[in-house]
């Protein structure tokens, strides 16, 4: 492609059937707004100009979507796709080709768009079409006896014979920009919907002897749009299935490709195993031989080689070392770093803490704002009391400390290297290295004490 490429994304429509206050193209697919998917696929084609036509929802779109490369064109009233594209024209390079995409058609592949642009060349028109078993609702591709495209007729304007045509307009069209400007200016809204149809430019091209080619996607899902929450959910499954196929193709063992959700990017080493119903958000990196149990949620996490994460574990903004054992039912919160061979067990919450090599927090504990050394054993039910209701303080637990069960460590506090804390202690001052520290009331027995007995009823 030598002539400059303009890409216009039509996104001014309301999306009535979404029944939502959020503009349709801001609804997320795989954790990212529909429009971002379309922008990302547009950018791969390296357009000279990238323009989004917006309207419904006002400034919500330009506010939600970042990008210095985007020219925003306001279509104040939604008078049809032709009128929408007209609003973009002042932002474009006049001497190139213009590719029209829809903000609610998120899964078109790069090779399909490149094929379409190839068919258009520098001076022709090309329409991405697809044959559907049920074409209802779409614009139909009308061809002459020689098979050449003559025009597109919308469902509401189509004759009974035309309604039987099953080749439809996907809406994705490439056209020479200079001619497009003139055609758009000539559109009328004298049709069943009273709209300015972009599709009417096809007949104009044919009348002027401009060749109109067609290209087709490899997969039907590439041209599926979102008009309802059900269609959004269906496209989500297609996206996720494709993502799972790619991972499996790279050697990742995915127990059920239909039960994987990646909302961001998941990168995996060799011999990674992922059990069912896991959700990966943001950037997640799993090293070689990592195993993720069923029903885990990982967001912006790096997991090093050989670590096993057992079912129902939730990890967010954390770095997990090699050969760790985590879960089942662990929660690891932002700012946490586990060194290698750490064990975090069931019903344990770790927040903003460093846990050293070979250290264990196996049962029912809260470790927050703590620096834990190597080979530390934190007994069941231990709590770092890191918050006094106003400020947060750190707990420091040095190497080879043993914390007895049901201990509270009232921060700021330091437990010295090799110290032992007796079970049930409330530690409010620093505990010296190498010693046993214990704070617990002495056990008492009241001899001969009687349990109260229930009084008989009615007295």
Q: Which of 27, 37, 83, 119 binds ligand UD1 (CB under 6 A)?
A: 83
Q: How far is the CB of 158 from ligand UD1 (least distance, A)?
A: 10
101 or 266: whose CB is closer to ligand UD1? 101
> Contact region for ligand UD1 (CB under 6 A) — 6-14, 62-70, 89-97, 357-365?
6-14
Backbone angles phi, psi at 239, to 5 degrees: -55, -50
Contacts with ligand UD1 by CB under 6 A: the residue count is 27
* Binding mask of the shown chain, residues 39 to 58, with x at each position contacting ligand UD1 by CB under 6 A: --------------x-----
The enclosing H or E element of 301 equals: strand 297-303
> Residue 171, interface with ligand UD1 (CB under 6 A)?
yes
Q: Is 363 a catalytic residue?
A: yes
> Based on CB atoms, which residue is closest to ligand UD1, 171 or 368?
171
Q: Is 102 in the site for ligand UD1 (CB under 6 A)?
A: yes
Which one among 50, 84, 215, 344 touches ligand UD1, defined by CB under 6 A? 84
Q: Does 11 bind ligand UD1 (CB under 6 A)?
A: yes
Listed in sequence order, the residues at least 6 apart from 15 whose beta carbon sits closer than 8 Å to its beta carbon are 23, 24, 25, 27, 56, 104, 226, 227
Collapsed DSSP state (helix, strand, coil) of residue 60? helix
Rounded Cα–Cα distance for residues 345 and 364 (Å): 8
Rule CB under 6 A: which of 118-147 touch ligand UD1?
Answer: 138-139
Using the rule CB under 6 A, is 33 a contact of ligand UD1? Answer: no
Q: Which stretch binds ligand UD1 (CB under 6 A): 41-49, 77-85, 319-327, 419-427?
A: 77-85
Smallest separation (angstroms) from ligand UD1 to the CB of 241? 22
271 token code pair: 């011999």
**Least distance to ligand UD1, CB of residue 43, Å:** 18
Q: Is residue 160 left, alpha or beta, with left meaning phi > 0 and alpha meaning psi from -120 to 50?
A: alpha
Q: Does 104 bind ligand UD1 (CB under 6 A)?
A: yes
Q: Say how far apart CA 262 and CA 243 lie, in whole Å.
A: 7
Pick from 42, 52, 158, 168 the residue near ligand UD1 by CB under 6 A.
168
In angstroms, the CA 286 to CA 275 distance is 14
Phi then psi dihedrals of residue 406, to 5 deg: 55, 40
Q: What is the dihedral of CA 75, 77, 83, 89, to 10 degrees?
A: -20
For ligand UD1, give the closer residue by CB, 225 or 424. 225
Contact between 119 and 212 (Cβ < 8 Å): no
Counting contacts by CB under 6 A, is residue 169 touching ligand UD1? Answer: yes
Which residue in the set 70, 79, 113, 355 belongs to the binding site for ligand UD1 (CB under 6 A)?
A: 79
Write down the H helix ranges in 156-315.
160-163, 177-186, 200-207, 229-249
The C-alpha atoms of residue 404 and residue 349 are separated, in whole angstroms, by 17
**Contacting ligand UD1 (CB under 6 A), which of 57, 80, 106, 358?**
80
- Report the residue from 13, 96, 176, 368 that binds ligand UD1 according to the rule CB under 6 A: 13
Q: What is the DSSP string of 345-401?
A: EETEEEES-EE-TT-EEEES-EEESEEE-TT-EE-TT-EEE-B-SS-B--EEE-TT-
Binding-site string for ligand UD1 from residue 350 to residue 389, where x marks contact by CB under 6 A and - marks none: ----------------------------------------
Coil, helix or strand for 9?
Answer: strand
Residue 252: which of 280, 215, 229 has the closest Cα?
A: 280
What 55-63 contacts at long range (C-beta under 8 Å, 24+ apart), as own/partner pairs, is 55/12, 55/13, 55/84, 56/12, 56/13, 56/14, 56/15, 56/23, 56/24, 57/14, 57/22, 57/23, 57/26, 60/22, 60/23, 60/26, 61/11, 61/23, 61/25, 61/26, 61/35
Nearer to ligand UD1, 197 or 243 (CB): 197
Q: Which helix (H) or strand (E) holds 119?
A: helix 110-120
Work out which of 107, 198, 224, 247 binds ligand UD1, going by CB under 6 A. Answer: 198
**216, 219, 314, 363: which is the annotated catalytic residue?**
363
Contact flag: residue 75 with ligand UD1 (CB under 6 A): yes
CB of 168 to ligand UD1, least distance (A): 5
**Within positions 219 to 248, which residues make up the interface with ligand UD1, using CB under 6 A?**
225
Considering only residues 5, 8, 10, 92, which one is a binding residue for ligand UD1 as defined by CB under 6 A? Answer: 10
Judged by CB under 6 A, does residue 103 bind ligand UD1? yes
Which residue spans within 108-200 are E strands per DSSP? 125-131, 140-143, 149-153, 167-176
The verdict on 197 binding ligand UD1 (CB under 6 A) reads yes
Q: Which residue is nearest to ligand UD1 (CB)?
A: 139
Note the residues at the interface with ligand UD1 (CB under 6 A).
10-13, 53, 75, 78-81, 83-84, 102-104, 138-139, 152, 154, 168-171, 197-199, 225
Catalytic residue numbers read 363
């Amino acid at each position: 492609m030598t002539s400059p490429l303009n890409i216009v994304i039509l996104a001014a429509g309301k999306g009535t059937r979404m029944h939502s206050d959020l503009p349709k193209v801001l609804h997320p697919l795989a954790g990212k707004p529909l429009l971002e998917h379309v922008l990302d696929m547009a950018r791969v084609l390296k357009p000279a100009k990238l323009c989004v036509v917006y309207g419904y929802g006002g400034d919500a779109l330009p506010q939600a979507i970042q990008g210095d490369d985007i020219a925003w064109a306001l279509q104040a009233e939604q008078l049809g796709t032709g009128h929408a594209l007209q609003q973009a024209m002042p932002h474009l390079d006049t001497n190139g080709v213009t590719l029209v995409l829809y903000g609610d058609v998120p899964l078109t592949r790069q090779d399909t768009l490149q094929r379409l642009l190839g068919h258009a060349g520098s001076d022709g028109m090309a329409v991405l079409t697809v044959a559907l078993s049920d074409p209802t609702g779409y614009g139909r591709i009308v061809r002459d006896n020689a098979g050449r495209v003559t025009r597109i007729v919308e469902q509401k304007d189509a004759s009974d014979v035309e309604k039987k045509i099953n080749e439809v307009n996907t809406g994705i069209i490439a056209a020479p920009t200079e001619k497009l400007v003139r055609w758009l200016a000539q559109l009328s809204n004298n049709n069943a919907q009273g709209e300015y149809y972009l599709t009417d430019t096809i007949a104009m091209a044919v009348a002027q002897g401009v060749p109109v080619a067609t290209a087709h996607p490899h997969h039907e899902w590439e041209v599926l749009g979102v008009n309802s929450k059900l269609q959004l959910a269906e496209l989500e499954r297609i996206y996720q299935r494709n993502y799972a196929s790619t991972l499996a193709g790279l050697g990742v063992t995915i127990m059920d490709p239909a039960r994987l959700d990646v909302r961001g990017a998941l990168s995996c080493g060799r011999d990674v195993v992922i059990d069912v119903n896991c959700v990966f958000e943001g950037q997640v990196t799993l090293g070689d031989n990592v195993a993720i149990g069923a029903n885990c949620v990982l967001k912006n996490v790096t997991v090093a080689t050989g670590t096993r994460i057992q079912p129902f574990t939730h990890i967010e903004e954390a770095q997990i070392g090699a050969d760790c054992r985590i879960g089942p039912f662990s929660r690891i919160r932002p700012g946490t770093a586990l060194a290698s061979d750490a064990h975090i067990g069931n019903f344990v919450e770790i927040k903003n803490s460093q846990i050293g090599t070979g250290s264990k927090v196996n049962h029912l504990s809260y470790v927050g704002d703590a620096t834990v050394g190597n080979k530390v054993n934190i007994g069941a039910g231990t709590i770092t009391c890191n918050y006094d209701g106003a400020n947060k303080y750190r707990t420091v637990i040095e190497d080879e400390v043993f914390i007895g069960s049901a201990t509270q460590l009232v921060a700021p506090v330091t437990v010295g290297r090799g110290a032992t804390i007796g079970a049930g202690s409330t530690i409010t001052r620093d505990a010296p290295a190498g010693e046993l520290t214990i704070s617990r009331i002495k056990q008492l027995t009241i001899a001969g004490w009687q349990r109260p007995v229930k009084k008989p009823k009615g007295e």
